[in-house]
């Protein structure tokens, strides 16, 4: 039985999302994990693996390679060879590794913002030069600013970090958009570090996820694509992700950079990933339907309140709300006092915005919106 309406108590489970408000009456709508139980086949596979009772060093099972390769071919018409896959304990690890492996100290790494904070942090942590280009807000949606990207390219910029589907602005970039970006990266000889962790969360029926590496072999040759079952099947705490690196030299460099520093993916991560990709189609379809309804409700709420606005969420379970007109110094703290906790846009490089995670039972979303509304009403008095 699948019932996304049933709330699951997450307090006292060391959940980072819920522990932020330990002892306070605040509904956490910030960090990007879902308040739904993982699919039954994932839980069952984990139980069976745990029951075996030996948790030694584990490599990725052959059937997981086959399952991932089959999924990439089926979903994206992308033919990937097993040797192109590199297993990683997480995407943030991958973003940081990509900076170290494919660029040198002082090189420029470009990113379009607002964006998930590790995109902005990774270049700095690796002592690379962060080159930020703002996304363009046009026709009520965010788009890549191709002219801005071109203008910011110089000989020292060696890599573009792409987030697709995009956290936090909820875009699933189209083929035309990806082709334009790819063309610029080719022209300026930039590696593409593509974080596609939200690829299984396309909410619009008329949209699809397109891995940028799948559009052309020449693009694939300069791209590291990173994916994981963690967002879609709600298993981020199990740390299993993978990179697709078709170019042999890039792969060698990536593996060399990882050596001795990046641990193997853990046994339970592999087990959960296999069950997620292989056995959870029905659950996934129902999840998307459920998320669509929550999204529609959030969008209708925001559209009907003065002073706030948000773009349509094509993909992900994250709403990006412009609260600048409210004139709040600290919007997140302000709404926490009314009982709801959002992510601060400042962390994504854009103060004056908040991000709302709507992957929760409908009753929880409803309560969160009531708290949000109380905070908004208080401003109008
Ligand atoms: C775009 C993006 N990349 C990476 C991550 C985190 O990935 P991981 O937990 O695999 O490091 C997130 C989590 O919110 C994300 O939104």
H or E stretch covering 93: helix 91-102
DSSP 8-state secondary structure symbol assigned to residue 56: -
CB 110 within 8 A of CB 157: yes
**102 and 251 fall within a common domain:** yes
Q: What spacing in Å lies between the alpha carbon of 304 and ligand 1's midpoint?
A: 31
Residue 4 lies in a domain: no
Whether 164 is in the pocket of ligand 1, judged by its Cβ within 6 Å, is no
pLDDT given for residue 269 in this prediction: 98
Answer whether residue 10 is part of any domain: no
At residue 1, the pLDDT reads 61
Q: Which atom of ligand 1 is nearest to the CA of 115?
A: 1
What tokens does 354 get? 């908040």
Give a yes or no: residue 218 inside a domain: yes
Instruction: Kindly report each contact of residues 143-146 with a partner whose C-beta sits within 8 Å and lies 24 or more positions away, as own/partner.
Output: 143/171, 143/177, 144/112, 144/173, 144/177, 144/180, 144/181, 145/112, 146/180, 146/181, 146/184
Q: Is residue 9 part of a domain?
A: no
CA distance 274 to 272: 5
Together in a domain, 332 and 266: no
**Residue 45 placed within a domain:** no
Residue 115 forms part of a structural domain = yes
Q: Do 66 and 189 reside in the same domain of the chain?
A: yes
- CATH number, position 268: 3.40.640.10
**Which pLDDT score is estimated for 2?**
74
Structural domain span for residue 372: 16-40+281-379
Q: Quick check: 99 and 126 in contact, CB under 8 A?
A: yes
pLDDT at 380: 81
Same domain, 94 and 201: yes
Task: Tell the residue nearest (CA) to atom 13 of ligand 1.
Answer: 32
The answer to whether residues 187 and 310 belong to one domain is no
Q: How far is the CA of 379 from the centre of ligand 1 (A)?
A: 34
Q: Are residues 152 and 109 in the same domain?
A: yes
CA of 109 to the centre of ligand 1 (A): 19
Q: Is the CB of 230 under 6 A from ligand 1?
A: yes
Residue 304 lies in a domain: yes
CB of 169 closer than 6 A to ligand 1?
A: no
Q: What are phi and psi of 218, to 5 degrees?
A: -65, -35
Q: Is the CB of 91 under 6 A from ligand 1?
A: yes
Q: Are residues 103 and 60 in the same domain?
A: yes
Is 64 found in the same domain as 34? no
What CATH number did the domain enclosing 297 receive? 3.90.1150.10
Q: Is 167 in the pocket of ligand 1 (CB under 6 A)?
A: yes
Residue 161's nearest CA partner among 118, 201, 202, 203 is 118
Q: Output the pLDDT for position 197.
A: 98
Measured from the Cβ of residue 33, the count of other Cβ atoms closer than 10 Å reads: 20
Three-class DSSP category at 135: coil
Given 216, 244, 279, the domain boundary residue is 279
- 353 in a structural domain: yes
183, 312: one domain: no
Is 308 found in the same domain as 273? no
| 223 in the same domain as 353 | no
| Distance in Å, CA 230 to ligand 1 centroid | 8
- pLDDT reported for residue 4: 97
How many domains does the chain contain in total? 2
Tens digit of each residue's pLDDT, the chain (381 residues): 679 999 999 999 999 999 999 999 999 999 999 999 999 999 999 999 999 999 999 999 999 999 999 999 999 999 999 999 999 999 999 999 999 999 999 999 999 999 999 999 999 999 999 999 999 999 899 999 999 999 999 999 999 999 999 999 999 999 999 999 999 999 999 999 999 999 999 999 999 999 999 999 999 999 999 999 999 999 999 999 999 999 999 999 999 999 999 999 999 999 999 999 999 999 999 999 999 999 999 999 999 999 999 999 999 999 999 999 999 999 999 999 999 999 999 999 999 999 999 999 999 999 999 999 999 999 987
Whether the bond into 164 is cis, omega within 30 of 0 = no
Query: How far does the centroid of ligand 1 lie from the alpha carbon of residue 265, in Å?
Result: 16
Read off the pTM: 0.97
Last-in-domain residue among 254, 279, 304? 279
Domain ends where: 242, 263, 279? 279
Looking at the structure, tell me whether residues 210 and 343 fall in a common domain. no
Half-sphere exposure of 199 (CA within 13 A, CB side): 22
* CA 292 – ligand 1 centroid, Å: 21
Best mutation site among 197, 263, 313 for ligand 1 pocket (most ligand atoms within 8 Å of CB): 197
Cβ distance 197 to 234 under 8 Å?
no
From 88, 113, 198, 231, mutation site for ligand 1 pocket: most ligand atoms within 8 A of C-beta: 231
| Ligand 1 center to 97 CA (angstroms) | 14
Query: How many A from CA of 91 to the centre of ligand 1?
Result: 6
């Amino acid at each position: 039985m699948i019932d996304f309406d049933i709330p699951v108590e997450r307090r006292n489970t060391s959940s980072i999302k819920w522990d932020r408000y330990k002892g306070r009456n605040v509904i956490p709508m910030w960090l990007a994990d879902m308040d739904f139980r993982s699919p039954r086949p994932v839980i069952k596979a984990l139980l069976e693996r745990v029951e075996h009772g030996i948790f030694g060093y584990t490599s990725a099972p052959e059937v997981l390679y086959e399952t991932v390769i089959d999924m990439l071919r089926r979903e994206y018409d992308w033919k990937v060879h097993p040797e192109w896959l590199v297993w990683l304990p997480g995407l943030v690890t991958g973003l940081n590794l990509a900076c170290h492996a494919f660029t040198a100290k002082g090189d420029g790494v470009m990113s379009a913002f607002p964006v998930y904070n590790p995109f902005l942090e990774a270049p700095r942590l690796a002592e690379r030069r962060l080159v930020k280009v703002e996304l363009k807000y046009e026709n009520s949606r965010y788009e890549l600013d191709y002219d801005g990207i071109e203008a910011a390219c110089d000989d020292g910029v060696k890599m573009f970090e792409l987030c697709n589907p995009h956290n936090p602005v909820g875009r699933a970039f189209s083929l035309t958009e990806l082709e334009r970006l790819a063309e610029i990266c080719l022209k300026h000889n930039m590696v593409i570090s593509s974080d596609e962790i939200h690829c299984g969360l396309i909410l619009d029926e008329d949209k699809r996820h397109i891995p940028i590496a799948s559009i052309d072999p020449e693009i694939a040759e300069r791209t590291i694509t990173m994916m994981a079952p963690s967002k879609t099947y709600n298993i981020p705490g199990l740390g299993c992700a993978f990179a697709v690196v078709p170019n042999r030299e890039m792969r060698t460099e990536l593996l060399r950079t990882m050596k001795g520093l990046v641990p193997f993916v853990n046994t339970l991560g592999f087990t959960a990933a296999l069950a997620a990709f292989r056995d959870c189609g029905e659950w996934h379809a129902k999840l998307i339907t459920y998320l669509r309804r929550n999204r529609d409700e959030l969008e209708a709420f925001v559209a009907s309140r003065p002073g706030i606005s948000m773009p349509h969420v094509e993909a992900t379970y994250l709403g990006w709300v412009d609260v600048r007109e409210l004139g709040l110094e600290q919007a997140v703290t302000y709404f926490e006092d009314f009982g709801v906790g959002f992510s601060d846009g400042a962390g994504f490089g854009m103060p004056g915005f908040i991000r709302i995670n709507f992957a929760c039972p409908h009753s929880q979303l409803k309560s969160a919106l009531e708290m949000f509304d109380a905070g908004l009403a208080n401003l109008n008095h």
